Chain A
Amino acid sequence: MKYERYHIPLKSVPGRVGPVPKFVIIRADNCINCGKCEKSCIYGVHKRSEADLRKMADPDNNLCKNCFRCIQDCPQRALTMMVGPDYKALGRGLWTSLRIFTIWSESETGKIPVFGAGYRGLFAGPGYDGMWTDMSEIVRPTRDGIHGREYISTSVDLGSRPAWLEFDKAGALVTDMPPIVELQVPFVIDTTRLRSATDAMKTGMARAAKHVDSLLFAAPDSLSREAASELNAHFVPVYAEGTDLRSIVLPRGARMAALTLGSNWKEDAKRFKSMYPQTVLAFRVNAGKDVEKRVLDLVKAKVDVAHVLFDEEGMELDSVEPRYAKDSLRAIHKALVSKSVRDQITIIAGGGIAAAEHVPKTLICGADVVALEKAAVLALECRDCMTCSMGSCPVNMGDAPAEWIENRVTNLMGAWRDQLLEVLGAMGLREVRRLRGELGRAIFFEDVERESFSDIEGGAGDG
C-alpha cells in the first residue's frame, strides 16, 4: 500500500452572493477618475468601469484588505474607508462579526485567515477567550504543521477502549474488542440542532464529511436513497428522545448511531448493544448541573460516546447557573480520570464552536472530538439573521446546490485543520490525541488573575 499523507485538497469556492464587505470604501464626488487608485491597489478593489473606461467603477469592497494605500495615494483625497455598517450589524454574542466574516473567508479560500493590521485585542474574555494556549515551540520550523518535514496527525477514535488486553496461552486475543470509528480530523458536523437545514445541505455536508473522513450527525432518513448508499459510512443517525428502539432500522453500512438521553436510556442502551453490537453507540447529553455524574453513568452502561451539548454561546443548557463549556468539560474530564475510566468513553462537545481556535481549546479542556453546527451553516454565507426563514433568506440558502455546499464546508474544515496543525506545531505535539485534557498546555485567565492578585487587598478573590 502506497503511503500517502493525509491531506485535504482545497480550492477557491466563491460565494453565491458575496459576503457583506468588512470595509467599505466611499468614493466622493470630487473623484477625478485619474486612475491612481487602480494602480495603487494590489488587491484589485479599484478598477475602471467596464462600460465606460473613462470613469472609475464602484470599489469592489469585498476585496479590500484595509491597507489604506488607495486612501493615501488619492490626489483628490476623494476616498474614505470605514468598517461597513452591514458588517458591524452582523452577528451577536459569541458569534461576532469578525468570527462570521472569518468563517466566510475560510470557506471561500480554504486558507488560514490573516489580519493585515494585526490583532489589537482584547486578549482575554469570557469562555474560551479566557484561555491562552502554549506556543513554546513556535520557533521550530521542522515542526511547522503545514509545511514542515514532520507529520502531525489529527486523527482521533470514537468509541470505548478497554483498559487492558487479555490473551490466552496461545497468544490469541480474548478481550472482546468494542467497535471503533477512526476520524482523520477531530471534528464532526451536526445538523440536528440547526434552525433550518435543507436536503441539499445534508447531502453536501455528508459529502464534505466523507471528503475529509469525518461524520455527519443528522436525523434518520436525512439522506436521499441514492446518496445514502454512498454516504452511509459517514452518516450518524440521531434518534430523538422517546424513539421506540424496536422499530428502528439502522441505515446499511452505518458505523455509529446516536440516541438521546431520556428516562429509559439504560434499557435503550442495553437493547441497542444487543441489536447492533458492532455499531458505536453515542448518547446525547445536555450539559448542565451534574453532567459529570451522568457521563459516569454512561460509562457504567457501556455507552461508547457521550455527545455533550452546549448552547450556541458555548454554555450549559440545563442549569440555573450555567457554566462555560471549558469549565463543564474540564469537570467531566476530571471526574472520568479520577475514576480511571477516561478511555472507556469518548466525549464529543457541541455548541459554541465559533472559530478554529475553539477546536484545540475544547480538546485541551477534555473533549476528544468537536461538533460543528452553526459554523457549518455560516460556511454557506449564512448572515445569521435574528429570524431565520428559507423563504426570505438573504443568501437564498434554499437554492444552494449540494456540490457547492460540499466544497465550502470542506474548505472550512481544511482551514480549521491547518490552524489546528499550527497550534500543535507551536506546542511541539505530533498528534492531536495527545492534546486531549492536556490542561498544562493552556493558561487560564482566572488562574493567572488569582495567582497575581488574590493576596492583594481589593484584588481578585481566591476564586
Chain B
Amino acid sequence: MAEAGVGSPIYRNNSAPPPPPTEFSAKEERSEGKLAEALRALGLKDVRIISSFGERMLYSRDQSEIPRFMKEIMFLSAPTVVVQPESERSVSALLKFASSHRIPVIPRGSGSSPFGGSAPVVGGMVLDVSVMDQVLAIDVHRLTARVRGGVRWADLDHELEKHGLTLNTCPSSKFSTVAGWMATGGMGLNSYSKGHLRESVHAISLVTADGLVRKMDRADPLFPAVFGSEGQLGVITEVTLSVRKKPEKSQPHLIMFSDFRSALSFAYALGNSDVRPAHIVYESPLKFSLVNRMLGGERYTPEHGIIVNIEGQDSEDRYQQFVKSAGLKDEKEYLARYMWNERFFPMKMRKYGPGMLGSEVVIPLKILPDSLQKAEDLCKELGLEPMFEVHFLSDGNGLLLCYYITDQGNTISFTLDAAKSMILTSMLIDNGARPYSIGIWNTAFTNAEEKAQLTRLREAKAKLDPGNVMNTGKYFFLSGRFGGVLGTAFSPGIMRPALKTMRVFSPLTMRLMRTGYKFAERRLRPKTRTELLKIADECAMCGACVSVCPAYLVVKDERVTARGKLLAVKAMARGQKITKEHADRIFLCMRCKACEQVCQSKLRLVDTYDELEKELEALYGKDEKEIENFIRYVESQPDFDKLIERGLVVGAPKHGMGGERDEV
C-alpha cells in the first residue's frame, strides 16, 4: 500500500539496470576546411581528424601565456587541422600525405613546454602523438622499457613501479610525453646523477617526412641530432630507454644559506665530494616566501636554499658526514620533503599574478654566481622581482630558471613584461649561457646553441627533411604572417643587438616602459575580471589534467579536460562565441576530481565547472541525454576501470582501511 508522500521503503525493487550503451561519440561540429576532407578521404581508421575551430584553437598554443598581439598578429598560430593517429603506420601515411602536399607538420606531445615549439607559426597540420601512449614492454633483467612516443612520464613511472623499477631522469613536468622531452630538452630531475636523457635512450623509431619509419640506435650518426631537434626531423613514435631499480631509500635534504654565493659554493663542494647526490637544486628566497604564502604560515625562512636528494644508505651516511664537517645543519625533514615534492610544480606560483614569465638557460657552473648577480641587478633595473631556480647537471652546467610574477590580465603591462624576459635571456646568453630550448620565443638565440649540436641538426635536417615539412618556419628561421617579415624580427641578427641596446640603456628603457605601465594602469585596470577568468588565468596550462581525465579517455577531445574548459573560459571572456557542440562537451565530465588531484596550481576546478556550466546552461542549454549516455558508457569501459583502480592519479589518497592498493 504505497500511498502518496510515504518515505522510502527499506527494500527497494532493484531490478537490473538497462545495459550501458555500447558506443559513445559526442556530437561532432561541422567539419571545416578542404584539408580535413582530404585527410578523411585517406580513410585512416585510427586517426581522429580535428577540424572544428574550437578544438583546433587548443593546439595553437602550449603552456606559455603569450600576449595576444605577439602571437595572433605575427603568426598564423591556429593549425589548419589537427590529427591524432593511434599507430605508427598512420603517422607514416599522414607524413607522406603532408610532404606530397607541402603541408607543414607540427609534432606535439602534451604541449607542456613554454617556448612555443609545438605551436604553429604558418598554420599546417598539428600531429598530436599523445594518444599513442602505450608502454610496450618492460625488461626487468636488462632494465629497459620500450614505449610509444606519446607515453607520459608519470604513466611510465607507474608501470615501472609495479616491477620495482623507476625512471632514470624525468622532466619537471611529469605529465609531458617521452617523445616531447626528447625533442625539447632532456635535462631535468636527476640529470645530476643520471646525465642527459640521451644517455638513457638506446633506440628510437623516427617517422620522417617521406613516411619512412627509421629505426635508429646509438650507432646511427643521426641519432644524437634527434635530441633537442624540436620536431625538425620527424615524429618519434617509439623509444627504448634504460630504467633502474628503485633505490631502497630516497631522502631529500634542505639547507638554508644567507647569500647565494655560499649556497652555491656549498653545492659545488658537495658535488666534488664523495657523497654523489642524486640531484641538487638551488632555490632563491622569493620561492620560499611564496611557498610560505601558499601554505599560509611562516614555515620557511626566506633565504637561499639548497635541496639535495640522496639515494641509498651509503650515500646518506657520507652526506651526513659532509654536512657535519662543514658545520651546517639540515632543515626539518618535512620541510625538505615538501620542497622536493614541489619539484614537479614550478608553475604553481602563476596564481599570484595571475601570470608568470621568465627565461630558462643552460649555464656553465663556473660563471653561474656572476651571472646570477648580473641577472639580479638587471631585474632590479627592470623593476622585476625574480625567482631563481638552478638544477645542477652532470656536465658541469646548471639549468637556470629565472621567473617573475606578472599580471597576464593586463595586455599592455603583460606585453612589456614579456619583452623584459627577452632582455633577461639575452643578457644571460651574452654572458656565456645557451638557451635551453628554442621554440618560437628563443629563435633569436639559435646561434648561441652549441655549435656541434647546430651542425648536427642542420645536417640531419638536410638529410631527413629536405622538403622542410617538419615544424616548418621555426628554429633556423622564424616565419610568420606577412611573408615572414615580422618573424624576421626574431632572427638572431636583428633581435639580439636590439635586446642588447635595450639592456645597455636600461634606465631609458625603463622610463619608456614606465610610461607604458602608467598608460596600462590608467586605461586598463578598471576592467573587471570575473572569478572564472581569474581561475583560468591562474591555470599553469601544464596539461597534467589531460593525462588523468577519464572523459578525455573516451571523447579524445581536450575541450573536455580542465585545461580545455579553462581555455573556453578565456575565449568567452575575449567575447569569442563558442558553438553549441563545444558547450555540450564541457558537460561531459565524470566529476572524478582527478584533475584537482594533479593540478599544480591547486585550483578548485570542480567548483569552477559548476560555475561555468551554469553560465553555459543559460546560454546553450544542456543535453541531459548525451550526459547520461556518456556516463553509462564511460562506466562500462575497461580503460576507465584501470584508471580508477590505480586511483585515477598515482598516489591519490588512500582510505584509512590501510594497506596498499591491490594491483589490477
Contact surface of A with B, Cβ cutoff 8 Å: 11-19, 28, 30, 32-36, 39, 42-44, 48, 53-55, 60, 62-63, 71, 74-80, 104-105, 108-109, 401, 403-404, 407
**What's the Cα separation between A407 and B3 when bound, in Å?**
12
Q: Contact check, A77 vs B635: say whether CB atoms are below 8 A apart.
A: no
Tell yes or no: B612 within 8 A of A by CB. no
Of B2, B8, B591, B635, which contacts A60 at CB under 8 A? B8
Q: Contact check, B6 vs A77: say whether CB atoms are below 8 A apart.
A: no
Q: Contact check, B657 vs A77: say whether CB atoms are below 8 A apart.
A: yes
Tell yes or no: B11 within 8 A of A by CB. yes
Q: A34-B592, A54-B627 are in contact. Are A28 and B14 (CB under 8 A)?
A: no
Of A32, A80, A109, which contacts B10 at CB under 8 A? A109
CB neighbours of A16 from chain B (8 A):
5-7
Q: Contact check, A77 vs B655: say whether CB atoms are below 8 A apart.
A: yes
**What's the Cα separation between A63 and B8 when bound, in Å?**
9
Q: A32-B648, A403-B1 are in contact. Are A78 and B655 (CB under 8 A)?
A: yes
16 additional contacts, CB 8 Å, given A54-B590, A54-B631, A79-B655? A13-B1, A14-B2, A14-B9, A19-B10, A30-B652, A32-B592, A32-B644, A33-B590, A54-B589, A55-B591, A74-B655, A75-B647, A77-B656, A105-B10, A108-B10, A403-B1
CB neighbours of A404 from chain B (8 A):
1, 3
Q: Contact check, B654 vs A14: say whether CB atoms are below 8 A apart.
A: no
Q: Contact check, A43 vs B2: say whether CB atoms are below 8 A apart.
A: no
CB neighbours of A15 from chain B (8 A):
6-7, 9-10
CB neighbours of A33 from chain B (8 A):
590-593
**What's the Cα separation between A345 and B182 when bound, in Å?**
100
**What's the Cα separation between A109 and B14 when bound, in Å?**
16
CB neighbours of B654 from chain A (8 A):
77
- Nearest first, the 10 A-B pairs at minimum CB distance are A77-B655, A18-B7, A32-B592, A44-B14, A14-B9, A44-B12, A33-B591, A54-B591, A14-B6, A75-B644
Tell yes or no: B638 within 8 A of A by CB. no
Q: Contact check, B14 vs A43: say whether CB atoms are below 8 A apart.
A: yes
Q: List 22 A-B contacts (CB under 8 A).
A: A12-B1, A12-B2, A14-B9, A15-B7, A16-B7, A28-B655, A32-B590, A32-B593, A32-B648, A33-B593, A34-B635, A34-B640, A43-B11, A43-B14, A48-B631, A53-B624, A55-B591, A60-B8, A76-B652, A105-B10, A109-B11, A404-B1
**What's the Cα separation between A54 and B627 when bound, in Å?**
8
Q: Of all chain B residues, which has the CB nearest A75?
A: B644
Q: Of all chain A residues, which has the CB nearest B627?
A: A53
**What's the Cα separation between A32 and B2 when bound, in Å?**
35
**What's the Cα separation between A42 and B644 when bound, in Å?**
21
**What's the Cα separation between A78 and B593 when bound, in Å?**
13
Q: A54-B591, A77-B654 are in contact. Are A18 and B1 (CB under 8 A)?
A: no
Tell yes or no: B594 within 8 A of A by CB. yes
Q: Please classify the interface of chain B as helix (H, G, I), strand (E, B), loop, or mixed, using the class held by over half of its residues.
A: loop
Tell yes or no: B653 within 8 A of A by CB. yes
**What's the Cα separation between A404 and B4 when bound, in Å?**
12
Tell yes or no: B645 within 8 A of A by CB. yes
CB neighbours of B9 from chain A (8 A):
12, 14-15, 62, 108
**What's the Cα separation between A28 and B8 when bound, in Å?**
24
Query: Within the complex, what minimum Cβ distance (angstroms) separates A119 from chain B?
Result: 19
**What's the Cα separation between A63 and B13 when bound, in Å?**
11
Of A12, A32, A39, A74, which contacts B11 at CB under 8 A? A12
Query: Within the complex, what minimum Cβ distance (angstroms) separates B349 from chain A?
Result: 26
Q: A13-B1, A407-B1 are in contact. Are A76 and B655 (CB under 8 A)?
A: yes
**What's the Cα separation between A19 and B647 when bound, in Å?**
35
**What's the Cα separation between A11 and B11 when bound, in Å?**
12
Query: Within the complex, what minimum Cβ distance (angstroms) separates A377 from chain B?
Result: 18
Of A14, A42, A53, A80, which contacts B8 at CB under 8 A? A14
Q: A43-B12, A54-B631 are in contact. Are A14 and B590 (CB under 8 A)?
A: no
Tell yes or no: B615 within 8 A of A by CB. no
CB neighbours of A39 from chain B (8 A):
635
CB neighbours of B592 from chain A (8 A):
32-34
CB neighbours of B661 from chain A (8 A):
75
CB neighbours of A42 from chain B (8 A):
14
